[in-house]
Structure 1
Amino acid sequence: MRKPLSIAFIVRDPLPPARADLLTLFGSEMPRYGITTELVGQAGGLDAAPWPAGGMHLVGSLRSRFAALLSPLWDLRGLLRASRRIRPDCIQVRDKIASGLLGRLAAAVLRVPFFYWMSFPIVEGFAVRRDEFTGVKWLAHALRAAASRFVVYRLVLPGARHIFVQSEAMADWLAAKGFARSRMTAVPMGVDERVFGRAAVTPSTDPRLDGRRVVLYLGRIARARRSDFLLDVAEGLKAEAPDALLVIAGDAASNDEMDWMRAEIARRGIEHHVLLTGWLPQQEALGYAVRAEIGLSPIPRGVLFDVSSPTKLVEYLALGIPSVANDIPDQRLVVEESGAGLCVPMETASFVAAIRRLLDDRGLADAFAQRGPAYVKAHRTYAILGRIVAETYTTILRRADEAV
């Protein structure tokens, strides 16, 4: 019998993990294939919960004002703890820069493979952040972006035995920078079919939905995501489909962002046509979702989001909700392969027209609703994605073990 494989995994996300691509993929799916994980990272302010798939080593806190500076030192301490508990078969770092370099060096010392998991083009994110400032702040952010670019693309990724990326578009983007496509595996966002099954969800009894044609946006609110575009769409629907109600089921990262959204709704005079729920427990949010006739997934175009893999479109499809999404590559791929939605440019008139088409054509909407769950079950559940990821680890790590 082959021994289990162990990954020492340094993550950027707060611990204990909440994101499904950590919690479900590594907490539930990897152990099915004999792969355990020693998570290393900073606490996120939530109550600690036991990690079911290995060990969890919380060092430091993301709530500290010095977290950005101390994170590499904390990660080193956590990595030492993890390595004392069990010798890892590989070291993997997700979305961290200095700790990515540290992870590569530690893997060399331990003589195990180094993996990098890129769920977001963080260097390009720093560059976008840089351009929000002027003067001394611009210079500081410019230096940060330049240093990060050098470390990630010259020191970290070249030393990775394998790179997990968020989408096929991200893999193509990195390949254009000179990294071998054969060293990459795309792991798009998926769903846990035990949670995102329509039969498992209790529909919301919110009376504000009664007698309305509900159009849903399920997700985060942020200026950077151009969330006010949703209000442009609501204004267009107010004129063309007065009985439509746009439900925005989600929260923002800060009270300022939520206040901005509420103020925009009031300024436009569309309070009767937009329901902003704020934060909801997942099952309650899904209760609103299954009351919707259409799900919306507008994601701004640009280097940051073009390589992303949005979860909400896949969630809509899993719940049998006909969808309207814009044309970032991963969404276009999902719509084309599934035949369960409409893909249009992120323009108000295009979204309004697509929504009207689905509201008016019940046959088309029903066909989309039927196709979505079958597509997700075949391509985008974490059971499916977990098998792909596990096979990648097993192939590389068994090969490395045989070479020793």
Structure 2
Amino acid sequence: MTARRALVVTVVHHPLDARIRQRQITALLEAGWAVTYAAPFGGYGVADTDPRVRTIELPRAVGRRRLAALRAARSLLAREARAHDVVLLHDPELLVAALLAGLRRLPPVVWDVHEDTAASVAMKAWLPGVLRRPAAAAVRWLERRAERRVHLLLAEDGYRARFAVDHPVVPNTTAVPARPSSPERPAAVYVGHLTGPRGVVELVATGRLLHERSGGRLGVRLIGPADADSRALLDPPPPGVTWHGFLPHAEAMAALDGALVGLSLLHDQPNYRVSRPSKVAEYLAHGVPVVTTALPEAQLLVERSEGGVVVPFVQGAADPEAVADAVLALDADPPGRRAMGARGHAYAVEHLDWRRHGRDFVDHLARLAGTGRRPTHRVSRLVASAPRTSTTGTPGH
């Protein structure tokens, strides 16, 4: 039997993005699919060295510089898509490219909805303030049009209300180690992008406080790429802060193992209120106690797992003093933090393991590959009749 073929495309995300490359593409490869991956490898200075993946270079869409990436993606889809059974798009911009390439000539097109794009517009520093409301309205219009023209996958249950019909959810869960290491290393670790809304200022301030209050023994380790404003804070890093930059997912998880605490200090922003931070799931999976701001989904995870501490918002952001207090309390209580890490890992084994959701993801793409090109309400409702995924751990789409 000929292997199914998937064309996976992004011009915005890092080519080694955990959801795209480590979870979804790996799940397809393990199921025997042939994968073509088009992404801005050069724009991020990385390569995909897996011989099972055919890669195609695309320009990177960044800030206001997006037109070249859009044109290249349209050309790619017109040239490559028909040699595949499914096209999986990861950026809203690519919906425009697909429309320009002519959807009627393409195989089933799937948009993987990573975020509440309209809500995130308010956080785009490169977009002038006067344009943010019209841009958000344009995104909502594009979403409504896309729902009638392409298939949708959602990264969060909270995204369902944005759409007219129900769509399957592929949650941001993670691979859960069988045996996590004990949280003993004297470091609070953050894994993810470093930006203002993601709490970089509070992370740096927490590192300084931990360094001062522990006599230099404790600090914060930051793992991930930084935007321009964040780089200005981190070059050079202040005392108590170590910045590793971007690390491939496996290396980032290895650096996380055994950490005293995992930090998630996201601000109280509309886009974050309906999203479950993947970093919180990763910390729990690795048996690392979590310290998080009181975003609804993050707080729900921590409370249900009993795997961490929630710090309240102060004017929409974390209070570094409260974060440092939480870290120091865990540092002073080895039995308590070990028990907390063990509870978080046990919860992750039961509710957050990607291996379960990865099979559902592949099965869904396989079903679409055997259907017509255009979505129908009948298909969407059939998928939605399966149990919903939620932070309670209910399996399935």
TM-score for both structures, normalised by structure 2: 0.76
Aligned counterpart for 1:94 among listed residues 83, 90, 94: 90
Question: Does the 8 Å CA contact 2:194/2:226 hold for their aligned counterparts?
Answer: yes
Residue in structure 2 matching 1:159, options 149, 159, 167: 149
Percent of paired sites with the same residue? 19
Alpha-carbon distance in structure 2 between the residues aligned to 1:302 and 1:328: 9
1:228 aligned residue: 201
Tell me how far 1:389 sits from its aligned partner.
0.8
1:125 and 2:123 are equivalent in the alignment: no
- How many residue pairs get matched? 367
Change (3 A) 1:148 1:277: closer
| Separation in structure 2 between the aligned mates of residue 38 and residue 232 of structure 1, nearest angstrom | 43
1:350 Cα deviation after fit = 4.3
1:260 matched to 2:197: no
* Deviation by residue 1:137-160 (Cα, 9 ceiling, x = unmatched): 54455554443432x233223323
Compute the displacement of 1:299 (Å): 1.3
- Inter-CA distance 261–42: structure 2 relative to 1 (3 Å threshold): closer
Would you say 1:366 and 2:338 are equivalent positions? yes
Q: Aligned-pair distance for 1:18?
A: 0.9
Q: Distance in 1 between matches of 2:188 and 2:63?
A: 40
- Output one character per residue of 1:167-211: Cα deviation in whole Å (capped at 9) or x when no partner: 22233xxx1x3432x3231421424749xx656x9x99xxxx8xx
RMSD across aligned C-alpha pairs, in angstroms? 3.8
* Deviation, structure 1 residue 100: 0.3
CA distance, structure 2, for counterparts of residue 109 and residue 284 of structure 1: 42
| Cross-structure match for 1:268 | none
Partner of 1:317: 284
Relative to total residues, which structure has the larger helix share, 1 or 2?
1
CA distance in 2, matches of 1:331, 1:129: 23
Q: Could you tell me which of 179, 188, 194 is aligned with 2:164?
A: 179
Q: Secondary structure at the match of 2:339?
A: helix
Q: Deviations over 1:358-385 (max 9, x none)?
A: 3343332121222333333444344233
Q: Would the aligned equivalents of 2:119 and 2:271 in 1 still touch at CA under 8 Å?
A: yes
SS in 2 for 1:224: coil
312-321 or 277-286: bigger deviation: 277-286
- Structure 2: gaps of 5 or more residues: 377-397
Amino acid in structure 2 at the alignment position of 1:299: L
Distance of 1:236 and 1:49 partners within structure 2: 39
Cα deviations by residue, 1:107-150 (Å, 9 ceiling, x for unpaired): 741374332111123333334337x87xxx54455554443432
Closer, same or farther: CA 397–49 of 1 in aligned 2, 3 Å: closer
Asked if structure 1 preserves the Cα contact closer than 8 Å seen for 2:177 and 2:286, the reply is: no
Q: Letter of the aligned partner of 2:150 in structure 1?
A: A
- Distance verdict in 2 for CA 1:128–1:365, change over 3 Å: closer
Q: 1:39 aligns with which of 37, 40, 50?
A: 37
Distance in 1, Cα, partners of 2:23 & 2:329: 37
* Matches for 1:74-85 after TM superposition, within 5 Å: 74-83=72-81
Structure 1 residues 370 and 264, CA, compared in 2 at 3 Å: closer, same or farther? closer
Change (3 A) 1:43 1:373: same
* Residue of 169, 175, 178 corresponding to 2:158: 169
Task: Find the partner of 1:21 among 6, 12, 19.
Answer: 19
Residues in 2 aligned to 1:64 and 1:284: alpha-carbon distance in whole angstroms: 25
2:11–2:60 CA contact under 8 A, matched in 1: no
**In structure 1, what is the equivalent of residue 7 of structure 2?**
8
Residues 11 and 96 in structure 1, CA contact (< 8 A), matched pair in contact too:
no
1-side partners of 2:259 and 2:176: how far apart?
A: 20
Aligned pairs (5 A) from 1:4-403 = 4-13=3-12, 17-45=15-43, 46=45, 48-49=47-48, 52-53=51-52, 55-59=54-58, 61-62=59-60, 67-83=65-81, 86=83, 88-97=84-93, 99-103=94-98, 108-110=103-105, 112-129=107-124, 137-139=128-130, 143-150=134-141, 152-161=142-151, 163-171=152-160, 175=161, 177-180=162-165, 182-191=166-175, 193=177, 198=180, 213-234=186-207, 237=210, 245-250=218-223, 252-254=225-227, 256-261=229-234, 265=238, 271=239, 274-279=240-245, 281=247, 289-290=256-257, 292-346=259-313, 347-348=318-319, 350-398=322-370, 400=372
Shift of 1:319: 2.5
The answer to whether the 8 Å contact 2:9/2:38 transfers is yes
Q: For 2:53 and 2:216, locate their aligned partners in 1 and report how far apart those are by CA, in whole Å.
A: 51
Higher Cα Rg, which structure: 1
Rounded Cα–Cα distance in structure 2 between residues aligned with 1:33 and 1:298:
36
Structure 1 299/307 Cα, relative in aligned 2: closer, same or farther at 3 Å? same
Q: One-letter code of the match for 2:149?
A: G
The verdict on how the C-alpha distance between 1:48 and 1:313 changes in structure 2, with shifts beyond 3 A counting, is: closer
Instruction: Measure the CA separation in 1 of the matches of 2:112 and 2:257.
Output: 33
TM-score (norm 1): 0.75
Contact 1:26 1:53 in 2 (8 A): no
- Looking at structure 2, the residues matched to 307 and 24 of structure 1 have their Cα atoms a distance apart, in angstroms, of 23
CA contact (8 A) 1:251 1:258 kept: no
Residue ranges of structure 1 left out of the alignment (5+ in a row) = 266-270
